[in-house]
Structure 1
Amino acid sequence: MSIVITGATGQLGRHVVEALLQRNVPAGEIVAAGRSIEKLADFAARGVQVKAMDYADAASVAQVLQGASKVLLISGSEVGQRVDQHRTVIEAAKAAGAELVAYTSIANADSTTMKLAAEHQATEAILKDSGVPFAILRNGWYLENYTEQLQGTLAQGALAGSAGEGKVSAASRQDYAEAAAAVLIAENQAGKVYELGGDHAFTLAELAQEISTAANRTVAYQDLPASDYAGLLAGFGVPQPFADILADCDLGIARGDLLVSGSDLRTLIGRPTTPMSDSVRSALAAV
């Protein structure tokens, strides 16, 4: 048996490989695949199979997926190109006779109108039509989306956004990775759809207050019109098309699109999800 982790050179992918190892999956049964395989040298040293793969290169995808029992398709990072890239992986998994393809989608994919969700929705449709046994991991927002920006937030003395009083059910990459690992090693996962999010949703104003408390300085939440927020992000170097998408995501938060009900994530990982406060304090310690 082999479990292939695509996009393993990314942060989520690395966490998934580590989570599988921690669950005593034999290293030789894990295939960590990605473009920059030098980033996986530490896993190779532990016996994990490391293979070069590019979503845009169908031949490399087919070669890596040969003999795969299970595949974790981590959604690509190139917004606008992901549907074709994901289709390439799904078709290769089908040709290889994989018994399961697990896909990292987005929370509430069946109802959200966020622009960022469109490629996830298209990929879910491809999976359902492919005939390949599949499981869908609808990941909510990462806490790291905020904590990795803490240095800039503190420098500005404000947390900007367009989410209003909407709440987001965020969890850590580690949480989502452990959930993916749990699904990959479990039986009878075909057809399962998991809505994954943190145990305790919060508003961006509450996040700003937590940062203020933890850093012992005032950080206010500044709610902006989406066009203004997109312009602010572009001013910080975010490409305008992606800045527009991020601002639209905040509008989604305001609507409740990233509010996850239920306890799928907690159940899969067998523990409470990472609290926002813990994530903020850990990130501040590293600033």
Structure 2
Amino acid sequence: MITVTGATGQLGRLVVTGLLDAGVPAGEVTALVRDAAKAADLAERGVVVTVADYTDRASLEAALQGTDRLLLVSGSEVGQRVAQHTNVVEAAKAAGVELLVYTSAPRALTSTLVLAPEHKATEELLADSGLPVVVLRNNWYWENYDATIGQAASTGQLAGSTHGGVVWPASRADFAAAAVAVLTAAEVTPATIELDGDAPMALADLAAEIGRQTGTDVVHHDLPTDDHVALLRGVGLDEGTAGFVAAIDAGIAAGELDTGGKGISGLTGRPTRTMAEHVALVLGR
């Protein structure tokens, strides 16, 4: 049995459907969810839907009975994730899970990225758990830029504070395919894998591609961090959110997402979505 946590989330759902597409019988896939109603379509396909909550270890232990391989999709509640992940790990141990796969952050053990500390703590927890573990350190989703692409196409402006730093993006579907490849492999060796796309991208590259596809000039403004925060506040973001977004850009500027590339295609054997493909998808071209 392969169990996927967060199975109605954006990544988890893609993993579940990817397992089915890869030929795993639906009855051998468990979608672990908080709300069974949101997984009705999966249940209709024969997937086993089990209700449990990251905050409720007893429910997790019951849900994970019979699980051979488990994908722990990292929780979305910043500040709560270490405690929640601890519950899942302890439940997995109690249930006799044979392999735990975890979605982490790039270079989590050493990164200064604002997102990294809870992933670092979880990776350390997993290292001490005694479980066979594969850590998949997800780089940057193309989908993170969807709003930016639309705004830049409309306004001709694209602002940030990454100072030429690069990410190695891929689509959520690409990251899901990599997880499916690990979960369905005949033999799995415990490992930590930097999961990233096939090519690096800086914001200036994105501005140029949007301009190329729209036939307009899209100007990239690389701002000092304080100016970036002020701009974000000016368009309606609260102080905390604006600071968080700028902190992500600061991490990119520091090279924290410059992980080298091709981690996903190395697992899946197929290329990841390109910048041109994603921009065209968002713009409906």
Q: Report the TM range for the smaller structure's normalisation.
A: over 0.9
Q: Secondary structure at the match of 1:174?
A: helix
SS of the residue corresponding to residue 102 of structure 2 reads strand
In the alignment, what sits opposite 1:255? Answer: 254
Describe the superposition over 1:217-272 as per-residue Cα deviations: whole angstroms up to 9, x where unpaired: 33222222223323433444545334323211211111211012253211111111
Deviates more, 1:66-75 or 1:103-112: 103-112
For residues 68-83 of structure 1, the aligned pairs below 5 Å read 68-83=67-82
Partner-residue secondary structure (3-state), 1:79 = coil
Moved more, 183-192 or 246-255: 183-192
Task: Write out aligned runs for 1:59-208 (5 A).
Answer: 59-208=58-207
Of residues 46-55 and 69-78 in structure 1, the stretch that sits farther from structure 2 once superposed is: 46-55
Relative to 1, partners in 2 of residues 1:236 and 1:192: Cα closer, same or farther, differing over 3 Å?
A: same
Q: Contact 1:8/1:33 (CA < 8 Å) preserved in 2?
A: yes
State the TM-score, normalizing by the size of structure 2.
Answer: 0.94
Deviation of 1:39 (Å): 2.4
Is the 8 Å Cα contact of residues 152 and 210 (structure 2) preserved in structure 1?
no
**Per the alignment, do residues 55 and 269 of structure 1 end up closer, same or farther by CA in structure 2, a change over 3 Å counting?**
same
CA deviation profile, 1:12-60 (whole Å, cap 9, x unmatched): 1111111101110000111112223322221111101112222122232
Residue 46 of structure 2: aligned partner: 47
Does the Cα contact within 8 Å between 1:163 and 1:254 map onto a contact in 2?
yes
Provide the rounded CA distance (Å) in 1 between the counterparts of 2:10 and 2:122. Answer: 21
Query: CA 1:221–1:38 in 2, change beyond 3 Å: closer, same or farther?
Result: farther
Q: Please tell me whether the aligned partners of residues 108 and 116 of structure 2 are also in contact (alpha carbons under 8 angstroms).
A: yes
Counterparts of 1:217 and 1:230 in 2: how far apart (Å)? Answer: 27
Q: Confirm or deny: 8 A CA contact 1:234 1:240 kept in the other structure.
A: yes
3-state SS of the aligned residue for 1:130?
coil
What amino acid maps onto 2:127 in structure 1? Answer: K
Distance of 2:7 and 2:113 partners within structure 1: 26
Secondary structure in structure 2 of the residue aligned to 1:277:
helix
Identity %: 49
Runs of 4+ aligned structure 1 residues displaced above 4 Å come to 234-239
Q: Which moved more, 1:155-164 or 1:266-275?
A: 155-164
* 1:102 aligned counterpart, secondary structure: strand
Residues 159, 219 of structure 1: 8 Å contact kept: yes
TM-score by length of 1: 0.93
For structure 2, list consecutive stretches of 5 or more residues without a partner in the other structure.
none
